[in-house]
Structure 1
Amino acid sequence: MKIVHITPHLGGGVGKAHAALCEADEETADRHYVLLEAPRDTRHADTIRQSGAAVSIAPDMGLVRDLISSADLIQFEWWNHPLMCGLLAGPPLPPMRTVFWSHVSGISTPFIPKGLVEAADRFVFTSECSRLAGNMAGLDADVVARTEVINSGFGYPSTGGHQPRDHRGHGISYLGTVEFTKMNPAMMEVIDRVAHSDVIVDVWGGVEASSPVHDAIAAMKHPGRFRLRGQTQTPREALQHSSIFLYLLQPFHFGTAENALVEAMSLGCAPLVLANPCELAIVRHGETGLVAQSADHAVELLTWMLEHPQEVCRMGEAARKEVSEAKTPERSIAAFRRLWQSTLAQPKRIPDLGRVLGSTPRDWHAVLQGVAYARDTGLQSAQSASKGSLAHFEAYYPDLDQAPTNPV
């Protein structure tokens, strides 16, 4: 069984997930990763190569088409990256069996086009929250039956002889994106309002000097409680002294596996999250952490956690056990092996993916925003050129209204 993974790159959570899957896979030699652009960070690609899988950077469509033609199965690593849209919406690709693994939830923008789910032989989500969202609405039963959920967020492996950590301290941490594109401004409000004078939250993650996060901290009554620690290359060590993982995210964030949350839980941290669909699929209220319905509720729950360290210890230990059993790369690669094997029964075909996304980069962006045409919605290209913004598409395809002749 020859499997070709096509992905824009192997950075961030996607690269981390596949590196872990390859290390847990005993048959990596039959897998080939094709990157649509050169990686900025080669750590995960290097790990994948060391596991026995091949990694190539696609210089043009010739290599991509040759690999697709010779493969038994193609797995597209899906999120709203311009190069992936260009590949799928460009000239028809050779006949193939297709699996899509979505690394965005589709609950809010970027949406997952329903036509993409329909066109795939198998469509895989990374969180159950995606299947419960509007992604399934209006799809035929046979299409829904071809969907599956396979986790991509894994905890740290147990070092053996684990002992529950001492939760008598007030160690509180946040680790992740320190921008309001994902982190909820309620973080500042909740920390400010807790009636414990010695509360300090260690906030791990890079933040630009011009970020509005700095203004929000300055506006706090107790700005010293929000302690920016910067980016860390050793998140496990950064969280070792934390009892509580304060992970309050925006309701519209598009994350699914939430690596930072799962990793913190695997270390015995008890999380406090907001009742967003993704977090609800990971944290069980009162058992493996606490789920707040509002900022007021979060203040109440955080106060309770600080005053009940033994309960925090209990939830943290339950979180650690659940993650160590349920969220492992061994379970995920076994699920993929079963799915890949079953997909081989399908004949190769040419999926009509251009019809799903449209013909121009502006159309691709519009579909993922859930609108008919971006040119009619007032969407601006002044956004930063990242994370699937219109400016990001323009950086790869300067003429947004022209179908590219070489989409990769």
Structure 2
Amino acid sequence: MNILHVTAHLGGGVGKAHAALSAAMPSSVQQTYLLLEEPRDRRYADAIAESGAEVRFARGMEDVAAQAAAADIVQFEFWNHPCLYECLASDLLPPLRSVFWSHVSGLFRPVIDPRLFAAAHRFVFTTPASLALGEGLPDNVRARLSAIGSGFGFAAGAEPTPGGAPICYLGTVDFVKMHPGFFDAIDAMRHDVHVAVWGAADPQGEVMARARAMRHPDRVVFMGQTDNPQAALSASRIFFYPLQPDHYGTAENALIEAMSLGLAPVVLASPAEQAIVSHGEDGLVAAAIEDCATLMDELLGNPARCDALGCAAAQRARDFSPENSADAFVRLWSEVLREDKRKPDFAAIIGRTPLDWLRSTQGGSITTPAIESAAKGTLTHFRAAFPDHPCWNDLVG
């Protein structure tokens, strides 16, 4: 079984997921990872290569097309990256068996055009919450949809590290994903508690400004980026992970890692988190940010319940293993191998210019946040990738 993974890069969550998956794959699966942009961080790419897969940088679309023609299955590691959209829109793509593994939920921006579900042999989400996108579609299209997790816990638990903050957050320290009421919830707690915030934070950014404006700013300790998330998480007993209600995340690797170490999670009732945490069973799910202070106070005041939820969380996290996801992919690929290759026309769905591709991720219209933001997948990103393309002349304003 010869699988070609076409991906913009192998950084962040995508690289971390595939590093774990490639190590869990049976020897009968031959994997090649074709990167569309030069890697900046080779940590995960090197780990994948050590597992026996080939990792290389694509030398143009002709190279991608040749590799795709030789593969049994082409799996597109899908998210709103301009290089990937350029690849999908290319007329050079040969007949192939296509699998999409989506690393965005599609429930909010960036959106996924549902016509891609029918165009691909299989479309795989990283959270079962995204299966709601198939509602109302024909049965033969919905049959192509599935969910295979890309977030994995630590293989073994860890003893609590003494002296750490009882509550922690680990992840994106930016309100593009973190809920802006994060610091209000900590301020509202009855307990005078310390909360460790792990992740890179802009000293001049909005997050730091909100923290400085707290009534109790001493409750929050910014720990910075960590190369050892297991040790960082093990120093706390509660994982406070409130995200924006329309955030783009799916597998929520940090949440699953924290649960695997026995931390009791406190999250908001967003689709991706609710697919992982069951309220009162293996964590607490708040209906609104205003409820989080009460829930964390309850856990601090009842250590036995906190420990019980943490134990249940660790048990739940065992469902999210690279072995389970690897097995699921082998079964899915085996099914796809029984189908014929076909010439794709993804450009008919996503368009043929960078502006078309950006609009397709925004549901057809480019909103003000997408214009003003410098985040990945926004106008700034697409324009930087194709600065001289004449399509930008069509963008009013």
The answer to whether the superposition gives a TM-score over 0.5 is yes
C-alpha displacement of 1:298: 1.1
Q: Tell me how far apart the structure 1 counterparts of residues 181 and 194 of structure 2 sit (CA, whole Å).
A: 15
Partner of 2:376: 387
> Could you tell me whether the CA contact under 8 Å between 1:167 and 1:313 is conserved in 2?
no
Pick aligned residue for 1:360 from 331, 337, 353: 353
Q: Tell me how far apart the structure 1 counterparts of residues 164 and 53 of structure 2 sit (CA, whole Å).
A: 44
Q: Secondary structure in 1 aligned to 2:109?
A: coil
Partner of 1:178: 173
C-alpha displacement of 1:186: 1.5
Partner of 1:406: none
The C-alpha deviation readout for 1:371-391, integer Å capped at 9, x for no partner, is 2x54xx66764421x320011
In structure 2, what residue type is equivalent to 1:153? Answer: G
Partner of 2:128: 128
Pick aligned residue for 2:139 from 141, 149, 163: 141
Partner of 1:329: 322
C-alpha displacement of 1:25: 1.3
In structure 2, what residue type is equivalent to 1:345? Answer: R
Partner of 2:156: 158
Pick aligned residue for 1:284 from 274, 278, 287: 278
In structure 1, what residue type is equivalent to 2:218? Answer: G
* Residue 87, structure 1, aligned to residue 82, structure 2: no
Q: Tell me how far apart the structure 1 counterparts of residues 126 and 164 of structure 2 sit (CA, whole Å).
A: 34
In structure 2, what residue type is equivalent to 1:388? Answer: G
Provide TM-score, normalisation by structure 1: 0.92
Partner of 1:104: 104
> Could you tell me whether the CA contact under 8 Å between 1:247 and 1:272 is conserved in 2?
yes
Q: Tell me how far apart the structure 1 counterparts of residues 92 and 99 of structure 2 sit (CA, whole Å).
A: 17
The C-alpha deviation readout for 1:158-205, integer Å capped at 9, x for no partner, is 16xx77x599996110000001000112110110010112x0100000
Q: Tell me how far apart the structure 2 counterparts of residues 28 and 18 of structure 1 sit (CA, whole Å).
A: 17
Q: Tell me how far apart the structure 2 counterparts of residues 204 and 28 of structure 1 sit (CA, whole Å).
A: 39
Q: CA RMSD in A?
A: 1.9
Q: Tell me how far apart the structure 1 counterparts of residues 266 and 390 of structure 2 sit (CA, whole Å).
A: 45
> Could you tell me whether the CA contact under 8 Å between 1:28 and 1:51 is conserved in 2?
no
The answer for unaligned runs of 5 or more in structure 1 is 404-408
Q: Tell me how far apart the structure 2 counterparts of residues 23 and 380 of structure 1 sit (CA, whole Å).
A: 37
Q: Identity over aligned residues, as a percent?
A: 47
C-alpha displacement of 1:399: 3.8
Provide TM-score, normalisation by structure 2: 0.95
Q: Secondary structure in 2 aligned to 1:33?
A: strand
* Runs (4+) off by over 3 Å: 165-170, 377-382, 399-403
> Could you tell me whether the CA contact under 8 Å between 1:29 and 1:52 is conserved in 2?
no
Q: Secondary structure in 1 aligned to 2:14?
A: helix
Matches within 5 A, 1:310-325: 310-324=304-318
The C-alpha deviation readout for 1:270-293, integer Å capped at 9, x for no partner, is 000011111000001011100001
> Could you tell me whether the CA contact under 8 Å between 1:188 and 1:217 is conserved in 2?
yes
Q: Tell me how far apart the structure 2 counterparts of residues 379 and 193 of structure 1 sit (CA, whole Å).
A: 30
Structure 2 CA distance for partners of 1:114 and 1:220, relative to 1, 3 Å: same
In structure 2, what residue type is equivalent to 1:363? Answer: D
> Could you tell me whether the CA contact under 8 Å between 2:165 and 2:196 is conserved in 1?
no
Matches within 5 A, 1:203-214: 203-214=197-208
Partner of 2:188: 193
Q: Tell me how far apart the structure 1 counterparts of residues 64 and 384 of structure 2 sit (CA, whole Å).
A: 22
